[in-house]
Protein backbone atom coordinates (compact mmCIF):
# COMPACT_ATOMS: atom_id res chain seq x y z
CA UNK A 1 0.00 0.00 0.00
CA UNK A 2 1.47 3.28 -1.09
CA UNK A 3 1.78 6.09 1.43
CA UNK A 4 2.23 9.78 0.71
CA UNK A 5 3.79 12.54 2.77
CA UNK A 6 4.54 16.18 2.16
CA UNK A 7 7.57 18.22 3.15
CA UNK A 8 6.61 21.84 3.75
CA UNK A 9 9.36 24.45 3.89
CA UNK A 10 8.74 27.99 5.03
CA UNK A 11 10.29 31.40 4.54
CA UNK A 12 13.80 31.77 3.15
CA UNK A 13 14.35 28.05 2.68
CA UNK A 14 14.28 28.74 -1.05
CA UNK A 15 17.66 30.40 -0.37
CA UNK A 16 19.34 27.23 0.91
CA UNK A 17 22.90 26.99 -0.37
CA UNK A 18 23.36 30.74 -0.54
CA UNK A 19 21.89 32.10 2.71
CA UNK A 20 24.28 31.82 5.64
CA UNK A 21 25.97 28.60 4.47
CA UNK A 22 27.92 28.48 7.74
CA UNK A 23 24.57 27.79 9.47
CA UNK A 24 22.44 26.14 6.77
CA UNK A 25 25.07 24.43 4.59
CA UNK A 26 25.86 24.62 0.91
CA UNK A 27 23.08 22.39 -0.43
CA UNK A 28 20.21 24.07 -2.27
CA UNK A 29 16.52 23.28 -1.88
CA UNK A 30 16.79 21.31 -5.13
CA UNK A 31 19.74 19.36 -3.68
CA UNK A 32 17.61 18.61 -0.63
CA UNK A 33 14.82 17.33 -2.86
CA UNK A 34 17.24 15.02 -4.66
CA UNK A 35 18.75 13.71 -1.42
CA UNK A 36 15.30 13.06 0.06
CA UNK A 37 14.05 11.32 -3.08
CA UNK A 38 17.14 9.06 -3.15
CA UNK A 39 16.67 8.18 0.53
CA UNK A 40 13.02 7.32 -0.01
CA UNK A 41 13.67 5.27 -3.16
CA UNK A 42 16.34 3.27 -1.35
CA UNK A 43 14.63 2.76 2.00
CA UNK A 44 10.90 3.30 1.59
CA UNK A 45 9.77 2.17 -1.88
CA UNK A 46 6.09 2.40 -0.89
CA UNK A 47 6.42 6.02 0.20
CA UNK A 48 6.08 9.05 -2.06
CA UNK A 49 6.78 12.66 -1.17
CA UNK A 50 5.62 16.06 -2.38
CA UNK A 51 7.66 19.19 -1.72
CA UNK A 52 6.28 22.61 -1.02
CA UNK A 53 7.97 25.90 -0.16
CA UNK A 54 6.43 29.28 0.51
CA UNK A 55 7.55 32.53 2.03
CA UNK A 56 3.93 33.34 2.95
CA UNK A 57 2.31 32.24 6.21
CA UNK A 58 -1.24 31.93 4.83
CA UNK A 59 -0.09 29.75 1.94
CA UNK A 60 1.61 27.41 4.41
CA UNK A 61 -1.57 27.23 6.49
CA UNK A 62 -3.56 26.40 3.33
CA UNK A 63 -1.07 23.66 2.37
CA UNK A 64 -1.27 22.08 5.84
CA UNK A 65 -5.07 22.06 5.63
CA UNK A 66 -4.95 20.58 2.10
CA UNK A 67 -2.59 17.86 3.34
CA UNK A 68 -5.03 16.43 5.88
CA UNK A 69 -5.78 13.49 3.55
CA UNK A 70 -2.13 12.48 3.22
CA UNK A 71 -0.29 10.07 5.51
CA UNK A 72 2.10 12.56 7.09
CA UNK A 73 3.66 16.02 7.15
CA UNK A 74 7.26 17.05 7.69
CA UNK A 75 7.51 20.79 8.26
CA UNK A 76 10.31 23.29 8.54
CA UNK A 77 8.40 26.51 9.07
CA UNK A 78 11.64 28.50 9.23
CA UNK A 79 11.32 31.78 11.13
CA UNK A 80 7.54 31.34 11.34
CA UNK A 81 8.17 28.50 13.82
CA UNK A 82 8.81 31.16 16.45
CA UNK A 83 5.82 33.35 15.76
CA UNK A 84 2.94 31.64 13.97
CA UNK A 85 -0.10 30.66 15.99
CA UNK A 86 -1.90 30.17 12.64
CA UNK A 87 0.51 27.42 11.57
CA UNK A 88 0.20 25.82 15.01
CA UNK A 89 -3.61 25.87 14.77
CA UNK A 90 -3.51 24.31 11.28
CA UNK A 91 -1.21 21.54 12.52
CA UNK A 92 -3.40 20.88 15.56
CA UNK A 93 -6.46 20.54 13.32
CA UNK A 94 -4.71 18.01 11.06
CA UNK A 95 -4.92 14.54 12.57
CA UNK A 96 -2.08 12.85 10.69
CA UNK A 97 1.49 12.30 11.90
CA UNK A 98 3.63 15.44 11.78
CA UNK A 99 7.33 16.05 12.41
CA UNK A 100 9.05 19.40 12.69
CA UNK A 101 12.58 19.70 11.34
CA UNK A 102 15.19 22.43 11.51
CA UNK A 103 18.58 22.43 9.82
CA UNK A 104 20.38 24.26 12.63
CA UNK A 105 20.32 23.52 16.35
CA UNK A 106 17.80 26.08 17.55
CA UNK A 107 18.97 25.71 21.13
CA UNK A 108 22.48 26.91 20.35
CA UNK A 109 21.22 30.03 18.58
CA UNK A 110 19.55 33.28 19.61
CA UNK A 111 17.13 33.06 22.51
CA UNK A 112 14.09 33.97 20.38
CA UNK A 113 14.77 30.93 18.15
CA UNK A 114 14.68 28.56 21.11
CA UNK A 115 10.87 28.63 21.30
CA UNK A 116 8.81 27.04 18.54
CA UNK A 117 5.05 27.32 18.52
CA UNK A 118 5.03 24.70 15.74
CA UNK A 119 6.49 22.11 18.14
CA UNK A 120 3.26 22.07 20.13
CA UNK A 121 1.40 20.77 17.05
CA UNK A 122 3.70 17.95 15.94
CA UNK A 123 4.51 14.41 17.05
CA UNK A 124 8.29 14.73 16.79
CA UNK A 125 11.10 17.25 16.48
CA UNK A 126 14.50 17.04 14.76
CA UNK A 127 17.08 19.82 14.76
CA UNK A 128 20.79 20.38 14.39
CA UNK A 129 21.67 17.69 11.85
CA UNK A 130 21.83 19.89 8.77
CA UNK A 131 19.72 18.69 5.87
CA UNK A 132 20.23 15.14 7.14
CA UNK A 133 17.57 16.06 9.67
CA UNK A 134 15.01 15.66 6.89
CA UNK A 135 16.16 12.06 6.41
CA UNK A 136 15.82 11.42 10.14
CA UNK A 137 12.33 12.93 9.99
CA UNK A 138 11.42 10.62 7.10
CA UNK A 139 12.67 7.63 9.07
CA UNK A 140 10.61 8.81 12.05
CA UNK A 141 7.43 9.54 10.17
CA UNK A 142 7.59 6.14 8.48
CA UNK A 143 7.29 4.62 11.98
CA UNK A 144 4.32 6.83 12.84
CA UNK A 145 2.19 6.12 9.73
Q: Which of 82, 102, 117, 134 is catalytic?
A: 102
Q: Which of 24, 52, 117, 134 is catalytic?
A: 24
Q: What is the CATH number of domain 3-144?
A: 3.40.50.9100
How far are the Cα atoms of 22, 52, 65, 69, 135 from residue 58, in angstroms, in the given order?
30, 13, 11, 19, 26
Please report, for the chain, the start and end positions of each structural domain, with discontinuous segments joined by +.
3-144
On the 0-12 / 13-18 / 19+ scale of CB atoms within 10 A, 75 is buried
At 24, the pLDDT band (50, 70, 90 cuts) reads confident
pTM of the model: 0.94
1 pLDDT above the threshold of 80: no
- Among 39, 35, 118, 37, CA closest to 76: 118
Judge whether 39 counts as a catalytic residue: no
| pLDDT tens digits for range 92-143 | 999 999 999 999 888 777 786 677 999 999 999 999 999 999 999 999 999 9
10-36 mean pLDDT: 92
Judge whether 134 counts as a catalytic residue: no
Amino acid sequence: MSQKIIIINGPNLNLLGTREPEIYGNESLEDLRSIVNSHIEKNFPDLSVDFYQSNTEGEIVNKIQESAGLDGIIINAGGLSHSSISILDALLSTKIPKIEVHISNLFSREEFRQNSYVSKGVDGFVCGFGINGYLLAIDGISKLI
